[in-house]
Amino acid sequence: MTTADQIMHAGAQCVTEDESLAVAAKLMRDRGVGALPICGENDRLMGIITDRDIVVRCIAAGLDPAVTTAGELARGRPLTIEGSDDIEQVLRVMEQHRVRRLPVINHPEHKLIGMISEADVARHLPQARVAEFVSAICAEEE
* Residue 1 DSSP code: -
Exposure of 27 by Cβ count < 10 A (0-12 exposed, 13-18 middle, 19+ buried)? middle
pLDDT number for residue 140: 59
| pTM value > 0.85 | no
pLDDT number for residue 108: 77
pLDDT number for residue 92: 93
* Mean pLDDT by groups of 10 residues along the chain of 142 residues: 90 90 96 88 83 95 96 84 94 91 85 89 85 82 48
Rg of the chain, C-alpha, whole Å: 15
Domains and CATH numbers, the chain: 4-138 (3.10.580.10)
pLDDT number for residue 142: 45
**Strand 35-39's sheet: what is its strand order?**
15-16, 35-39, 45-50
